[in-house]
């Protein structure tokens, strides 16, 4: 509601009642990757919904807490995020 920037409506895959469905959803549009990451960091660090993420002792635990807080509808979101983090940490294929 407080977003004053651009919005892009994208067809996305969401999980509803355990089933993946395609739907059009509005997403914030940014001028740069840096702006996007800055806004994400602001969301995670200031929203009471995600306060448990800040207390995570590992990046993997933080990923699970982000999922538990409802950031994404994909029930495998945390596992996918952890796999991507491992790829960039080691350079190995996920």
CA distance 81 to 75: 12
If you ran DSSP here, which 8-state letter would residue 3 be given?
-
CA distance 46 to 55: 13
The catalytic position among 39, 60, 61, 74 is: 39
CA-to-CA separations, 22 to 11, 16, 29, 76, in angstroms, rounded: 6, 10, 20, 17
Q: Is 39 a catalytic residue?
A: yes
Q: Is 89 a catalytic residue?
A: no
The catalytic position among 14, 35, 51, 68 is: 14
Q: Which residues are catalytic?
A: 14, 39
């Amino acid at each position: 509601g407080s977003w004053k920037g651009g919005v892009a409506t994208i067809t996305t895959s969401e999980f509803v009642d355990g089933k993946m469905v395609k739907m059009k959803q509005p997403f914030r549009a940014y001028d740069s990757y840096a702006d996007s990451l800055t806004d994400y960091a602001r969301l995670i660090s200031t929203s009471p919904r995600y306060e448990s993420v800040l207390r995570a002792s590992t990046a993997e635990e933080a990923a699970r807490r982000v999922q538990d807080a409802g950031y994404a509808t994909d029930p495998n979101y945390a596992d996918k995020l952890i796999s991507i983090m491992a790829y960039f940490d080691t350079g190995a294929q996920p």
